[in-house]
Amino acid sequence: MKEKRNGNVEAFRTVLMAGIVALHILGHGHLLELSSGPAEKVLWLIESLAYPSVNCFVIITGYYQSQNSFKLHKVISLMAQMLFWSIGCYCIYLLAGGVNTWKGMLQTLLPWLVGDSWFAIVYLALYLVSPFLNAFIQNTNQKQMMKTTAVLVVFGCAPVLSDKLGIYAMTLPWFVALYFVGAMLRMDMPKRRPLAWGSLFVLGVAGLWLSRITSFPGQSFAVSNLFWRYNSFAVLGAAVAAFLLVLWCPVRTWPKWVYGVSGVTFGIYLIHDHADLRQIIWDRWVSALLPAQITLKDIWLMPALLLVIFIVCALMESGRKRFFSALHAEELFFKLTENIKMRLNK
């Protein structure tokens, strides 16, 4: 039986994707690089608030998928979505004057293996290994689950102390750790203490922000690395706290459009962060709108860019879903899945 969608979590997905787009505007869009003084502090605060978004997405996946069955047709659907936007965005890039290369074509046709979207590739890999993770999760007790999750988290967060291992936060082992965190919250929900968890979120965000706007005597990479990694304790703590606050939110009724927007969030990610399209969006279009130096009076550009990019990409993904629906793609994926199962069972 399909689990009823939680309106709070669906609304949260939309907020998280808005946060991820904000991170890319600040980074790829060079807003942080061009800012100084009070404006820089404000933009770093926005960056700090949005930074736990990626972890939250994976924790949500673990929370729900750990109790759901693996569906091969969902894998095929996800791969088809990735391929569609890989080809579509590459075509937009070429039409906008981009240069066609063999490497670009290879990444376009094989986005699941050699594509440049690390999050999408690792997320797909996480779903593929989820049946093996669930086999352990669903057949263990609470005590064993807590110990296993603690080990995964400790060894996952330890690399922040080494600058050479910062890339660990973008790998499958860290996503597995986050998956177990979500599953653990599902198995043993902490007591309802909004003040405590709200304080943890504030402390995590404050740590991120202060580590960027404050200069310490003899400061080295380790000071900021203790915070500015997806696998830092500060970011993980803020992500867990934010998710729990959302689950405990007293609002229970949400309009239908919230569920609709939530359903296109992954597509928004695939479009706006496409490696080649980034060159057009950020280096050509966005850079033309930005002043040489961003001050407080230019802060409005941040939410304006966020709104435009989010809405345009959401409409594009909605169009893709309608196109697939007209082709009865989901039915085709399901039939393909059944044929694969029949051949494997022979």
Is residue 158 domain-resident? yes
Is residue 175 domain-resident? yes
In the structure, what pLDDT confidence band is assigned to residue 252 with cuts at 50, 70 and 90?
Answer: confident
Q: What is the 3-state secondary structure (H, E, C) of 213-245?
A: HCCCCCCCHHHHHCCCCCCCHHHHHHHHHHHHH
Calculate mean pLDDT across residues 184-199.
Answer: 86
Is residue 119 domain-resident? yes
In the structure, what pLDDT confidence band is assigned to residue 212 with cuts at 50, 70 and 90?
Answer: confident
Distance CA 188, CA 191 (A): 9
Residue-range definition of the domain harbouring residue 268? 7-345
Number of separate domains in the chain: 1
Question: And the tokens for 323?
Answer: 């196109």
In the structure, what pLDDT confidence band is assigned to residue 1 with cuts at 50, 70 and 90?
Answer: very low
Residue 336 has pLDDT above 70, yes or no: yes
Is residue 267 domain-resident? yes
In the structure, what pLDDT confidence band is assigned to residue 320 with cuts at 50, 70 and 90?
Answer: very high
Confidence (pLDDT) at 159: 72
Is residue 2 domain-resident? no
Is residue 86 domain-resident? yes
Taking all residues of the chain, what is their mean pLDDT, rounded to a whole number? Answer: 88
Judged by average pLDDT, the poorest of 27-36, 114-123, 187-196, 254-263 is 187-196
CA–CA–CA angle 144, 150, 154 (5° rounding): 150
Q: What is the pLDDT of residues 59-115, one digit of tens each?
A: 999 999 998 888 988 999 999 999 999 999 999 999 988 888 888 898 899 998 887
Is residue 1 domain-resident? no
